[in-house]
Amino acid sequence: MQVLKISEIKKELQERSASELVGICLTMAKYAADNKELLTYLLLEASDEASYLQSCRSEIESMFSEINNSNSYYLKKGLRKVLKTLSKRIRYSGNKETELELYFFFLDKSLPLLRTREHQVVYNLLAGVIKKADKALTSLHEDLQFDYTKQRNQLMERYSKAAPHIVW
């Protein structure tokens, strides 16, 4: 089957009636949990970004409580699982401020899991999150950039104290 381009899909959807569109959305929701989650966000949570951000934070916090940090392998696997969920939630929102808030929350929750011994893979994973946050930071308005840069610098200061042998 050939996949249509977005412009072609948009054209086809505009030609459908409201009841047909409802049927198409429900069919999409049946086949993938991601589609169902996205529809839930669009229908219920997109209008109140603050409550969406809070629900994401509580979900991430509960995921952090389940991470087994007995060794670096399990720690890495747990952090990747949380990061995968985090990326999905950020993609649903599409709001750069929400993206930064969630990245900073993830980094803040990751900090207590670091130990003094080397976890190079974990550090690389966290460095990738820092790069993503920096990229999102540059796309914000100057006033917001200033506020979030202060928050980022405080977080990086805490990270440099936790792992002084790593250059963030």
pLDDT of residue 149: 92
Beta-carbon contacts of 49 under 8 Å, excluding residues fewer than 6 positions away, are 93, 95, 98
What per-residue string of b and e applies to 143-157 under the rule 16 or more CB within 10 Å gives b?
eeeeebeeebeebee
Q: How far apart are CA 49 and CA 55, in angstroms?
A: 10
Q: Over its length of 168 residues, how does the chain's per-residue pLDDT go in tens digits?
A: 788 798 988 898 899 999 998 998 888 888 888 888 888 888 888 889 999 999 999 999 999 999 988 888 888 999 999 999 999 999 999 899 999 999 999 999 998 887 655 678 888 888 899 999 999 999 988 888 999 999 999 988 888 887 766 666
Please state the pTM of the whole predicted model. 0.84
Our measurement of the distance from residue 13's CA atom to the centroid of its chain's CA atoms, rounded to an integer in Å, reads: 29
Residue whose entry in the numeric block shows the structure tokens 């009841």? 19
